Amino acid sequence: MPNISAATRILGDDLLAQLRTAQRPLTTAQLRQHAPAVPVAGARAALAPVHEQVYRVLCGLERQRLVVRSKAEGRQVSWSYLPNTADHEIASLTAAFTESETTQPAQREGLARTTEHLIAGARTARTIAIGGDTGGAATALSQVLIDCAELLTAATGIPASSPITGGTRP
């Protein structure tokens, strides 16, 4: 037998998340359409919640002052999210998850510069090698690789003496 209170809690959390992210009133039918499957007594698999179950959970959330009901067209009822104390925690978690996205452009810039240096070095080495000076090509390519290693160190934050670089500076 499924734990009904757990199913109700799952459904309530999902309905709150839908209303919070929608930032506009949603009807009971709209909320049910995107609700997760929940355990149902007598069923082997989780099923979509029935309209009445969604409505009951929304009424419970209204009693907890987490949502507010408003009249929509005809007999439809729409629901809106009410700001509460959990909003600060949610904002902190969202900021933590998106923090890595704000550092990616800087890393992309560093990697793009590294790629440009590698391409330029390869072209230079090829030009020198075509001219017959293989020693000069090797020297030029070596310098480019050293420069690229330093750029990668700066872009990724991995120190040159880390185990990844073998404990030696490039």
Q: What is the pLDDT of residue 105?
A: 61
Angstrom distance (rounded) from CA 52 to CA 26:
16
Q: What is the pLDDT of residue 68?
A: 93
Indicate the burial class of 5 (C-beta count within 10 angstroms; 0-12, 13-18, 19 or more): exposed
Report which DSSP code applies to 2: -
Q: What is the pLDDT of residue 164?
A: 40
How far are the Cα atoms of 9, 10, 62, 135, 170 from residue 4, in angstroms, in the given order? 9, 10, 19, 76, 61
pLDDT tens digits along 35-57: 877 766 666 777 777 778 888 99
pLDDT tens digits along 107-122: 666 666 666 666 666 6
Would you say the pTM of this structure is higher than 0.85?
no
One digit per residue, pLDDT tens: the chain, 170 residues? 445 577 788 888 888 888 988 888 999 889 988 887 776 666 677 777 777 888 899 999 999 888 999 877 778 889 998 887 777 777 777 777 676 555 556 566 666 666 666 666 666 666 666 666 666 666 666 666 667 666 766 666 655 444 444 444 44
Angstrom distance (rounded) from CA 39 to CA 140:
67
Assigned CATH topology for domain 4-85: Arc Repressor Mutant, subunit A (1.10.10)
Cβ–Cβ under 8 Å, residues 110 and 152: yes
